[in-house]
């Protein structure tokens, strides 16, 4: 399992078993539903095979125990559920725990989704993130005469880019009575909240990346870092340029559909049913450079649309510096209404999470627009 963030371990106060358990549940959810290659446990503590549904039931039981611990309640059986459902401390504790579950997995989830071109960092409440941009140029080495004491003095200066987090909110309807009665899964609810936040953060990061790459233009009529149409020669030329000027090994990224275009110029090639191109949908290593697929992101504003362009490939050198910087501010917080605040007796809970994205880098990148 991934290490828990400091804020989560502080909140857990030595009772971190639930949060590690949720990491395992979330990894299995991503593996079975999203096709992610992540590790999760397939057996319980006694060596018995455990299914995902059984794992969710056990997690919900552990969730209720943790909520009661945080709320300081140890006599829940002494009163009917209807009475506990309106308990203000229990209401607060429920979403305080949910918030920590979100923070336990969100950073690593984002790194897995957008980490190829995005540097993900966490900062405290009220903070902003300042990124120092080192000069990319090297010092000039010139010929000198035997009687010259020194060459022309060279000095470089750092630039700086500041990223300010912006607050986002997500409001959902919940029923505390159904949660306490075990009729509504808090584990499933939390998983969907994480996916919702992840989707929006990924879209913001990609939009920043795509906007920056769209600004890459030809210089003096030459195609320096941007070409239209796939050719093997253009790809190798751009990859060499990004690697040489970026001082790092470049890779090719794009959606799986876009990467299907990465084939040799010579049409006299063959691939069998067990080849990478058939089993993965693209060539994993093309002409000496690794190729990696970006997970597609749904565009919920338009029915069945997707967000990441299928008509572009990008050459980046992530070993040097990521083009996009993402900062997550503080922990997730929640504001939950009372049981009787709404006419239909539905409780609403608003989750607040602040993040900011921006392009702050000295790295180079190139774009191939597929014709």
Angle between helices 52-71 and 17-34 (to 10 degrees): 150
Taking the model in full, what pTM does it have?
A: 0.84
- Predicted local distance difference test score (pLDDT) of residue 85: 67
Of 79-93, 305-319, 341-355, least confident by mean pLDDT is 79-93
In whole angstroms, give the CA distance from residue 164 to residue 130.
Answer: 9
Q: Does position 220 have pLDDT exceeding 60, yes or no? A: no
Residue carrying structure tokens 């970006």: 294
Helix (H, G, I), strand (E, B) or coil at 38: coil
| CB within 8 Å of 289: residues ≥ 6 apart | 235, 239, 249, 250, 251, 252, 315
What does the pLDDT look like over 48-105, one tens digit per residue?
A: 788 888 899 999 888 888 988 888 887 766 666 666 667 778 888 888 999 999 999 9
| CB within 8 Å of 61: residues ≥ 6 apart | none
- Predicted local distance difference test score (pLDDT) of residue 257: 92
**Over residues 181-196, mean pLDDT:** 84
Give the H/E segment covering residue 161.
strand 159-163
- Predicted local distance difference test score (pLDDT) of residue 347: 75
- Predicted local distance difference test score (pLDDT) of residue 224: 82
- Predicted local distance difference test score (pLDDT) of residue 120: 92
Q: Does position 149 have pLDDT exceeding 90, yes or no? A: no
In whole angstroms, give the CA distance from residue 20 to residue 8.
Answer: 10
- Predicted local distance difference test score (pLDDT) of residue 221: 47
Confidence band, pLDDT 50/70/90 cuts, at residue 282: confident
In whole angstroms, give the CA distance from residue 108 to residue 99.
Answer: 16
- Predicted local distance difference test score (pLDDT) of residue 219: 53
Pairing outcome for strands 289-293 and 298-299: unpaired
Q: Does position 319 have pLDDT exceeding 60, yes or no? A: yes
**Over residues 35-53, mean pLDDT:** 83
**Over residues 253-277, mean pLDDT:** 81
Q: Are 318 and 251 in contact (CB under 8 A)?
A: yes
- Predicted local distance difference test score (pLDDT) of residue 22: 93
**Over residues 137-154, mean pLDDT:** 82
In whole angstroms, give the CA distance from residue 298 to residue 308.
Answer: 8
């Amino acid at each position: 399992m991934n290490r828990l963030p400091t804020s989560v371990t502080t909140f857990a106060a030595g009772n971190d078993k639930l949060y590690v358990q949720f990491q395992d549940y979330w990894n299995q959810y991503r593996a079975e539903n999203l096709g992610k290659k992540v590790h999760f446990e397939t057996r319980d503590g006694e060596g018995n095979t455990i299914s995902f549904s059984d794992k969710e039931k056990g997690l919900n039981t552990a969730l209720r125990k943790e909520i009661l611990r945080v709320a300081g309640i140890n006599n829940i059986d002494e009163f009917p559920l209807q009475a506990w459902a309106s308990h203000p401390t229990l209401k607060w504790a429920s979403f305080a725990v949910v918030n920590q579950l979100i923070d336990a997995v969100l950073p690593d989830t984002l790194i897995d989704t957008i980490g190829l071109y995005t540097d993900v960092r966490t900062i405290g409440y009220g903070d902003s993130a300042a990124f120092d941009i080192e000069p990319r140029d090297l010092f000039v080495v010139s010929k000198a005469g035997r009687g010259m004491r020194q060459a022309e003095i060279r000095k470089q200066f750092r630039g700086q880019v500041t990223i300010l987090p912006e607050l986002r909110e997500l409001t959902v309807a919940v029923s505390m009575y159904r949660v306490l009665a075990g009729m509504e899964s808090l584990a499933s609810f939390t998983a969907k909240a994480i996916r919702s936040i992840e989707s929006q953060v990924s879209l913001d990061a990609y939009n920043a990346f795509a906007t920056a790459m769209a600004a890459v233009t030809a210089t003096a009529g030459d195609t320096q870092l941007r070409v239209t149409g796939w050719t093997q020669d253009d790809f190798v030329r751009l990859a060499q340029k990004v690697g040489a000027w970026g001082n790092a090994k470049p890779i090719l990224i794009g959606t799986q559909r876009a990467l299907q275009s990465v084939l040799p110029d010579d049409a006299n090639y063959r691939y069998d049913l067990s080849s990478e191109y058939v089993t993965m949908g693209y060539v994993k290593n093309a002409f000496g450079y690794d190729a990696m697929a970006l997970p597609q992101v749904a565009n919920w504003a338009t029915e069945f649309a997707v967000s990441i362009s299928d008509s572009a490939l990008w050459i980046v050198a992530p070993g040097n510096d990521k083009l996009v910087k993402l900062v997550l501010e503080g922990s997730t917080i929640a504001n939950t209404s009372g049981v009787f605040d709404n006419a239909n007796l539905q409780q609403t809970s608003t989750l607040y999470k602040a993040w900011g994205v921006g392009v702050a880098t000295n790295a180079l990148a190139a774009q191939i627009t597929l014709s």
